[in-house]
């Protein structure tokens, strides 16, 4: 089942229109998961959308909580539809990634909040490191 109607309703309730560009980008992300702006553009360019429009629309959707943004390292971003809390580990050598169960980090996040007094926005964290294949063998 698609979450696009819920995200569309959320934007409309805030007074925003659902433009064809917004719908196309949401559909591309629904069909593909974690995508870079270039990958999104590749999927929507046949609609006549320019690369600039893709970037502006991604910024708008992320700013309104519709999309989550992850830094893949080296300044590369990946976008996905917002939803449940989840986290990633991305290999800084080969770029492979795995999702991390948020329950594994819940206690650490709580402890950080208790120690600092901050309330963290920890719905989507990205860690980097070396995957087992890229880790040097002793």
Q: How far apart are CA 7 and CA 83, in angstroms?
A: 10
Give the tens place of pLDDT for each residue, 45-101.
999 999 999 999 999 998 888 888 877 666 778 888 876 566 778 888 887 878 788
Share of the chain above pLDDT 90, in %: 38
Architecture of domain 4-81: Orthogonal Bundle (1.10)
Query: Class assignment of domain 87-129?
Result: alpha beta
**Does residue 128 register a pLDDT over 70?**
yes
pLDDT value for 77? 84
The domain segmentation of the chain, as residue ranges, is 4-81, 87-129
| 90 HSE (CA, 13 A, CB side) | 15
Statement: the pTM of the whole predicted model exceeds 0.85? no
Q: In DSSP terms, which residues pair with 111 in a beta bridge?
A: none
- Domains 4-81 and 87-129 belong to one CATH topology: no
CA distance 36 to 79: 6
Alpha-carbon span 89 to 16, nearest angstrom: 34
């Amino acid at each position: 089942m698609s979450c696009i109607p819920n995200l569309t309703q959320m934007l409309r309730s805030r007074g925003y229109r659902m433009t064809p560009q917004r719908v196309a980008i949401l559909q591309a992300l629904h069909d593909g998961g974690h995508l870079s702006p270039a990958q999104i553009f590749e999927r929507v360019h046949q609609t006549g959308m320019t690369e600039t429009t893709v970037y502006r629309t991604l910024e708008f959707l992320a700013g309104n909580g519709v999309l989550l943004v992850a830094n893949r390292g080296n300044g590369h971003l990946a976008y996905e539809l917002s939803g449940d809390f989840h986290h990633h580990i991305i290999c800084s050598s080969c770029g492979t990634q795995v999702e991390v169960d948020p329950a594994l980090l819940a206690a650490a996040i709580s402890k950080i909040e208790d120690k600092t007094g901050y309330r963290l926005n920890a719905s989507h964290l990205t860690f980097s490191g070396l995957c087992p294949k890229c880790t040097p063998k002793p």
